[in-house]
Every structure is written in structure tokens, then in C-alpha cells.
Amino acid sequence: MNNDQKFDEVNFMKQRTATQAFKISEEINDILHDKESGCYKPWQFSTYKVERDTLKTTYEEIVLWGSQEAMIRPGFKIGVREIVIPNLFSKINGVHEDIKQYREEISQLLEQENVLFFKKFPLYKKRYKKAESKAYFNTLNLNGELERSRLLSSDSWRYKTLNPVLQEKIADLIIEFCHIPYFWKHRNFKTKVRLPLINRIMDIALMFINRDERDEKMMKISTFVVLNNLDKELIEILKSFDYPMKVPKIIIYNNNKGKHMSYADALTLMFMNALGIDIMIFNPAGASDIENFVKEEYYDIHRLEEYRNNLPYRKNGIIYRLSHK
């Protein structure tokens, strides 16, 4: 270490003296807002790493727990710099015989805070540019693996406005998802991405040499491109999530009038679920959507009394026309 480095280290390690008022304030906060007290300050745990514990519930509990704060739900825990969010991931096939009751139950969930509501797939219409896949290759280390530090410092990193701990969690999850977790039913899902020229040539060659390896590689690139370009409103519900309080929700009412669920849709839902968000998919006709992509042990499937095709969502007798709430 040279003299300049020693000088810098000494100067930047100076002690900061706390005022008496600050010390008293901290002591009061420690008493009033202890982790076990259940009385928390707004954003008290914003710098904690979030983990999720997806609850296994009955259909009746979806509205019950869906309207409760995270700290009221079973399984809520606060550890050392880590907080566990009990969340929901439910697929509801069919409807009640009483359609009014069915719509009222959905309306109760939609009336909660911080809800995104979608009436069809795809969730977002996106076209990914060549630069998006190029960012994947630029983020790889010498071993061909994604690296957190490279991801966070990349010019293509879109999540710089989030707090650093949440950025690190997102980066770690992107890396984890790019390893193709075992919850996927197959290892050859992909979305439409444009590759740089040299990578297109290599892709064509690999298709003839080892198709399985090529399919997995394209799934990894697709995963990176989708997760590195999440829509702004998804980021907004993450930013507004005060962990012990109301859990944000993504609610989908799929009456099969739009297109089928895509890999990008399923990937987005699994990723948001991993960040503690509630996911509910209502399908009056009982058709498959998330079932085509994700193994069924990773979410709940509830089957109601009967199936109804092309049933629109209505609220208070009026067709609910908003695509988001």
C-alpha cells in the first residue's frame, strides 16, 4: 500500500460522533420498534434482504390472507438482516355456481393496495433489441458465468433507482434463474431475441452439434433479456413494498380471449413471486396457462364448481375495462 492509499484510508475511516439526541432517539426506537414488537416504523426493514415463503392454502384463504399484511400472515419472520415474506401463488380454475360471489371475491382482492390487474396475455408487448442480448454476453466472466458485480455495474442495468440491497437481490435472482431452476417443466423455453452476428453464427453451428445445449443456452439468454428489462410498473410495486405491510399483487383474469401465456409471462410471474409478490391467476374456463411452464408443486391449483368460457370480468354490474389497476 503506497502513502496515498494509506492517507485515503485514514481520512475515510474517521469516527463520526453521535449527538445525545440521536442516541436517545435510537434507544427509544430500539424499545418501541423491536423486531418482535409488531410495531414497526415505515421502511424499517428496507435494507433487509427479502426471502419468500409461498403459502399452501385453501381457496377460501386466498381472500383472507390476500387482504392481510405480511406480518399477520403465518410464516412471517425477521432475522439478521433478512425478512421472510409469506406470499401467495394461486391458480383458480373455474367459477362458483353463484357468479356474483365469484366476482365479488376477485373485487375484494383488486381493492387491496398496490395491485396490478391484467385481463389477457401477454402481460406486456415487448420487442427486444440486439443490444439486450449483447448485454448478456458482456456480463459473463471468464468462466462464462454471470457475475453479480458485473451485472450491477453494467450500463444495461435498469434497476439503479432501487435500494442497493434490493438491487443485489434482483441480481442474485437473475443469476439463479439463468441457471434454469428445476421448477420449469422443460429446459428449452425461450422468447424472441436478436443475437449479435458472431453469436448467431455460433448458435447455428451449435444447433447441429448439440441441440439440447443450444436450447438451454437460448433459454438462459431469453431469461436474462426478460428479467433485465422488467416493465416500469413492476419495479414501482417493488419500490413501494414496505415488507411487513400489505403485500403487492399481480392478478390475472384469463378468459382465453387473448393469446396464450408466453415463457416471458411465466418467467415474470415466477420472478416477482420470488421477490415476495402475491400472484393470482383466475381462469373461468379452467384452461392451462401457468401449468404449461411450471411444475404444479410450486403453486396452488384450486378448482371451483363449474367452468365458463369467455366470461368477462364485471364489477358492480359493469364490465371492468381497465387493463391495470
**Residue 3 reports pLDDT greater than 60:** no
Has residue 317 got a pLDDT over 80?
no
Q: What pLDDT does residue 90 have?
A: 98
Report the chain's mean pLDDT, rounded to a whole number.
86
User: Is the same domain home to 223 and 239?
Assistant: no
Q: Domains in the chain: how many in total?
A: 2
Task: Please report the pLDDT score of residue 183 as a whole number.
Answer: 96
What is the span of the domain harbouring residue 195? Answer: 130-230
Roughly what angle, to the nearest 10 degrees, separates helices 164-178 and 211-227? Answer: 160
Per the domain annotation, does 10 fall within a domain? no
The predicted structure's pLDDT at residue 192: 78
| Rounded Cα gap, residues 176 and 165, in angstroms | 16
Q: 171 and 315: one domain? A: no
Q: Find where cell 458485473 sits.
A: 150
Residue entry with cell 421448477: 183
> Could you tell me if residue 22 is inside a domain?
no
Q: Is the pLDDT of residue 32 over 50?
A: no
pLDDT of 131 > 70? The answer is yes
- Domain co-membership, 171 together with 305: no
What is the tens place of the pLDDT at every residue in 75-125? 999 999 999 999 999 999 999 999 999 999 999 999 999 999 999 999 998
Residue 253 exposure: Cα atoms within 13 Å on the Cβ side: 28
Alpha carbon separation from 84 to 7, 244, 280, 287 (Å, rounded): 42, 9, 20, 32
- Residue 215 DSSP SS3: helix
For residue 16, the model assigns a pLDDT of: 67
Q: Is 20 within a domain? A: no
Say yes or no to pLDDT of 208 above 70.
no
**20, three cell numbers:** 445525545
Residues 239 and 307 in one domain: yes
Instruction: Extract the C-alpha cell encoding 185.
Output: 417443466
CATH code for the domain in which residue 91 is found? 3.40.50
Of the pLDDT bands very low, low, confident and very high (cuts 50, 70, 90), residue 50 is very high
Mean pLDDT, residues 279-308 taken together:
97
Is 14 within the bounds of a domain? Answer: no
- Predicted confidence band of residue 242 (pLDDT cuts 50, 70, 90): very high
Query: Is 246 in the same domain as 294?
Result: yes
- Does some domain include residue 23? no
DSSP string, 55-66: ----SHHHHHHH
Percent of the chain with pLDDT over 70: 80
Domain end, chosen from 214, 230, 246, is at 230
The alpha helices in the chain, defined as continuous H runs, are 3-12, 20-32, 60-66, 99-110, 130-139, 148-152, 164-178, 197-209, 211-227, 232-239, 263-274
Please tell me the total number of residues recorded for the chain in this structure.
Answer: 325
Q: Any residues with CB less than 8 A from the CB of 126 and at least 6 apart, and which? A: 229, 231, 264
Residue 304 · residue 93 · CB < 8 Å: yes
pLDDT digits (tens, 9 = 90+) for 250-289: 999 999 887 899 999 999 999 999 999 999 999 999 999 9
Does residue 28 form part of some domain? no
Query: Which residues on adjacent β-strands are paired with residue 121?
Result: 259
Q: Is residue 122 reached through a cis peptide bond, with omega within 30 degrees of 0 on the bond before it?
A: yes
Listed residues 188, 208, 230: the one ending a domain: 230
Cell numbers that stand for 170 in this block: 434482483
The answer to whether 256 and 310 have CB atoms below 8 angstroms apart is yes
- Model confidence at 325, pLDDT cuts 50, 70, 90, reads very low
186/248 same-domain check: no
Residues 290, 284 contacting (CB under 8 angstroms): no
CB 188 within 8 A of CB 215: yes
Could you report how far apart the first and last alpha carbons of the chain are, in Å?
A: 56
Classify 321 as helix, strand or coil: coil
Which pLDDT value is given to residue 211?
66
The domain boundary, picked from 230, 246, 267, lies at: 230
Sequence-separated (6 or more) residues with CB below 8 Å from residue 9 = 1
180-202 pLDDT per residue, tens = 999 999 998 988 776 665 555 45
Residue-level pLDDT at 22: 47
Q: Is it the case that residue 147 has pLDDT exceeding 70? A: yes
Instruction: Please tell me the predicted confidence (pLDDT) of residue 321.
Output: 41
**pLDDT band with cut points at 50, 70 and 90 for residue 18:** low
111 and 152 within one domain: no
pLDDT band for position 203 (cuts 50, 70, 90): low
Q: How far apart are CA 89 and CA 301, in angstroms?
A: 9
Check residue 178 and give its pLDDT: 96
156 is written with which cell numbers?
444495461
d(CA 182, CA 90): 19
Span 8-16, average pLDDT: 59
pTM confidence score: 0.85
